[in-house]
Homo-oligomer: A and B are copies of this chain.
Amino acid sequence: MKMTIKEVAKEAGVSISTVSRVLNGRDRVSRHTINRVRAVIEKLQFQPDFVARTMIMKKTSTIGLIVPQLSNEYWALMSEVIQDALWMRGYTTLICSTDNEPDKDEAYLKMCLERRMDGVIYCSSPYCGPEARDGLDAIKEAGVPLVSLDPNIAGVSCVVGDHLQGTLTAVEHLIRAGYARIAYIGGPAVSIEREFGYRKALMMHGYRVDEGLIRLVKGQSFADGHEGLRALRSSGLAFDALFCGNDLLAFGAIKAMEEAGIRVPEDVAVVGYDDIFSARLFKPALTTVRQPIPDIGEELVQLLLASLETEPERRTVRKIVLPTELIVRESSGAALRQGAEARR
């Protein structure tokens, strides 16, 4: 039976405002009344209607989280971390997986507005074309706090890994190990900073950037990496190392190499990015750049909540860059070239 505050009031012999008061701990209510009302609430198993409450308070206590793909380990973990951080602070997270479809992206953004999310954490942008910009603008205009994982959205606070530095470290790791022809597989679906870092590292070390060794693919999945490597090979250019925009791309590329009889790391050294769980399970264990997912999630939430407690006019735009860490394993051939054992 769906109880309402009215029935509680009647049963307890008080007015509905009094019930509302004990419910919210507002104003002063006599100890005695409080107890009586509490007892009735308990007895009637009354639960205030969240929707009605929401309508008045204009606060859904819900945050929209938009990620490109839940079935991608990286996003699944990120979602979990964010949901936890939000839950501990009394918020519910509405996780939306766009499956990299701009239409869905736009639709979910719209839904966030329609359903009056208190805030939105947008992690899908690398893939978004101008369509999503509209959705994001609508959210900003409505004064709904918005934070992102992408540093390229004007006027939106973000938390990001230090990809430039991370990539630099990764590529320098290869250079130091003696590799000279380092290819890159990335694309719009992974942070553009990674491509820049790759170029920067080469240039800093006096290498010429060979555009033929750079392969931009559409997605960020295993299949994209696989395809990217095939395209790379069909170009006929030789390479002895490969840096990939994320771990999944690296897995796909390595798979494609295996199929072609190319050994990793003996023939080609490979470094990925993200350090998803599978990276250490993979064979060869993947050398990769670890992103501090828990920290990123936590900071994202803090940023959003801070924004939530500030009037739209005085909100500041923050860009928080978190350090990344190179995790050296087998795929980069460290053991081969330096005789050192790959760790972790």
Contact = CB atoms under 8 A, between A and B. Distances in A.
A99 B251 CA distance: 27
A311 B51 CA distance: 22
Contact of A114 (B50, B60, B94, B277): B50
Contact of A69 (B80, B92, B113): B80
Interface string A95-139: 111010000100000010111100000000000000000000000
Contact of A80 (B77, B99, B113, B278): B99
A142 B46 CA distance: 12
A256 to B, nearest CB: 13
A71 interface: yes
A54 B113 CA distance: 15
B92 A92 contact: no
Contacts of A51: 51, 54-55, 60, 115-116
Interface residues of A, number: 42
A194 interface: no
B60 A84 contact: no
Task: Kindly report how many copies of this chain are found in the complex they form together.
Answer: 2
A70 B69 CA distance: 12
Interface in A28-62: 47, 49-52, 54-55, 60
B71 A73 contact: yes
A94 B94 contact: yes
A83 interface: yes
A94 B92 CA distance: 9
A260 interface: no
Nearest to A111: B92
A207 interface: no
A115 B60 CA distance: 10
Contact of A71 (B2, B77, B87, B222): B77
A71 B60 contact: no
A57 to B, nearest CB: 10
Given A92-B94, A278-B281, 6 more contacts: A71-B77, A83-B96, A92-B115, A94-B94, A255-B281, A278-B278
Interface of A: 2, 47, 49-52, 54-55, 60, 69-73, 76-77, 79-80, 83-84, 87, 92, 94-97, 99, 104, 111, 113-116, 142, 222, 251, 255, 277-278, 281-283
13 contacts: A2-B142, A50-B115, A50-B116, A51-B115, A70-B80, A72-B76, A73-B76, A76-B76, A83-B96, A92-B115, A94-B94, A95-B95, A222-B277
6 closest A-B pairs by CB: A76-B76, A283-B283, A70-B80, A71-B77, A95-B95, A71-B80
